[in-house]
Amino acid sequence: MSAGLRHWYHEKGVVMELVSLSVIGERLEALAPNEPRIVVSGNYATPWELVHLAVAKIPVFRFFVLNAQGDWPRREGIITESPFVGAGVRSDDDLKYLPMRLSLVPRLFATSRPPDVVFIQTSTPRNGKVSLGIETNILPAALEEVRRRGGLIVAQLNAHMPYTFGDSEIVVDDVDLAIEHDAMLPNPSERPPDEAALVIGENVASLSSDGATLQLGIGQLPDAALSQMHHRRHLGVWSEMVSDGIMHLDRAGAIDVNRVMTSTFLFGTQEMYEWADENPRLVMRRTEVANNPARIADQPTMLSINTALQVDLYAQSNASFVRGRIYSGFGGQPDFVSGALHSRGGQAVLALRSWHEKTGVSNIVPLLDGPVCSFQHSVIVTEQGIAPIFGFSQQSQARSLIDHAADPRARESLNAAAQSMYLLGSDEIKLY
């Protein structure tokens, strides 16, 4: 499209103004003196054409993004804010990490982090609407606030973006400027599960039951657990994320066809994106709904499956920090742990490997030396076994973790540490 050219997108009587990047660039340059904040679709829905344009046109500004992937831009004058840190910004010294459970993040837009611009990548228009597709999350809240403030909404229309229903749908009239840029969506790298992952997956799956409602975090271990549940029936899905594992469960007949699958973002292969496109049984909900602990608690037999980097003898988890540096963030883990524990028959499962092979250290530690992400789960699961902890005394909790979750190579030192921490006693009764 030549510089400055405008044309119109016609679809069943709906008209959307499409512009060139240069037109959008002019609007962004007008905002430059105010150090604008730009909220951007994260995960694998990032509108890269718009991101690179902002970098080129605005000297000083802020990006607000969840789980930034790829070659995220860095230079003097760019500050990235994020409550969930992705691979693209983990080593960014100018990163501003916002420690906050995901259900509360949308409140920031109306308080301390007001948006001036929102960049979204969407489907092409259908019946007067576009869809946020694979990334709904916090975007509806950002869109509402930027409209209220008279800010700018810019869409990158992509014919490869699946059309999903629910809070992901946006009326075309609410988009100020749009460009067309068709490109295949990126996908997370696939890591075949090793023997330990398969054992952990089997242990986690053994805690599932017919009719349960599933929530899965990102990672190899939750996916391994899903692969072991194909024999289940009438399962429901109320999850921050939906991956290929849910698609395979659905095709295996394990998902109840009368229950709508609820998610806030999709994280998977091209095959999964095609499965999601106009799927009436998949509904995308905004973070305030999907991650609301009260809404989670309403789901029958909620089975929340998350992962951690470390767990200590007080059953506190670290899912956020590596060697003292932020790696990810709270995400939705504390929301779903709390919600699942209040669900009738619900369980909050934390899965992790008992031993870190590269460094030769235990992932079950005496006491975390960094911030806590979540605590008070139902069980801790490793390749060593299942350690129940809900309702246990501190002493029995520590004993369960050492005996059933820790690697045998770590048990002697963990026992000594527990003794010095007054977590073990000769008169302690085993409850498992």
Q: What does the pLDDT look like over 122-159, one tens digit per residue? A: 999 999 999 999 999 999 999 999 999 999 999 999 99
DSSP class of 428: P
Q: What is the pTM of this model?
A: 0.93
For 201-218, the pLDDT digits (tens) are 999 999 999 999 999 988
The answer to whether 6-180 and 195-420 have equal CATH topology is: yes
Question: Residue 60: what residue type?
Answer: V
Place of tokens 């607000």: 64
User: Would you put residue 245 in left (φ > 0), alpha (ψ -120 to 50) or beta?
Assistant: alpha
Q: Which residues are catalytic?
A: 240
pLDDT value of residue 374: 87
For 339-356, the pLDDT digits (tens) are 999 999 999 999 999 999
Of the CA atoms within 13 Å of residue 358, those in its CB half-sphere come to 0
pLDDT at 403 over 80: yes
Measure the CA dihedral 334/337/339/344, to 10°: -170
Place of tokens 């599932």: 208
pLDDT at 295 over 60: yes
pLDDT value of residue 375: 86
pLDDT value of residue 218: 85
DSSP class of 169: E
pLDDT band of residue 424 (cuts 50, 70, 90) is confident
Those residues with Cβ within 8 angstroms of residue 421's Cβ, 6 or more apart along the chain or in another chain? 313, 366, 367, 398
pLDDT at 180 over 60: yes
pLDDT value of residue 371: 87
pLDDT at 8 over 80: no
How far is it, in rounded angstroms, from Cα 263 to Cα 260? 10
Those residues with Cβ within 8 angstroms of residue 201's Cβ, 6 or more apart along the chain or in another chain? 193, 221, 223, 224, 225, 226, 227, 228
Confirm if 337 and 374 have CB atoms less than 8 A apart: yes
Place of tokens 């749908």: 169
| Sheet architecture: strand order including 78-82 | 6-11, 14-19, 177-180, 152-157, 117-122, 37-40, 61-65, 78-82, 96-97
How far is it, in rounded angstroms, from Cα 332 to Cα 219? 14
Residues above pLDDT 70, as percent of the chain: 94
pLDDT band of residue 26 (cuts 50, 70, 90) is very high
pLDDT band of residue 284 (cuts 50, 70, 90) is very high
CATH code of 195-420, in short, is 3.40.1080.20
Backbone angles phi, psi at 299, to 5 degrees: -80, 140
How far is it, in rounded angstroms, from Cα 322 to Cα 314? 19
Q: List the chain domain ranges.
A: 6-180, 195-420
CA distances from 327 to 74, 86, 89 (A): 18, 7, 9
Fold entry, domain 6-180: Glutaconate Coenzyme A-transferase (3.40.1080)
pLDDT band of residue 7 (cuts 50, 70, 90) is low
Output the DSSP codes for 308-373.
-SEEETT--EE-SEETTEE-S--TTHHHHHHHHHHSTT-EEEEE--SEETTTTEESEESS-SS---
pLDDT band of residue 431 (cuts 50, 70, 90) is very low
SS3 content of the chain, % helix, strand, coil (to 5): 30, 25, 45
Those residues with Cβ within 8 angstroms of residue 144's Cβ, 6 or more apart along the chain or in another chain? none
How far is it, in rounded angstroms, from Cα 322 to Cα 33? 37
For 42-80, the pLDDT digits (tens) are 999 999 999 999 999 999 999 999 999 989 999 999 999
Q: How far is it between the farthest Cα atoms of the chain? A: 81
Residues above pLDDT 90, as percent of the chain: 88
Q: Is the dihedral of CA 168, 172, 176, 177 positive or negative?
A: positive
For 231-281, the pLDDT digits (tens) are 999 999 999 999 999 999 999 999 999 999 999 999 999 999 999 999 999
pLDDT value of residue 5: 40
pLDDT value of residue 345: 97
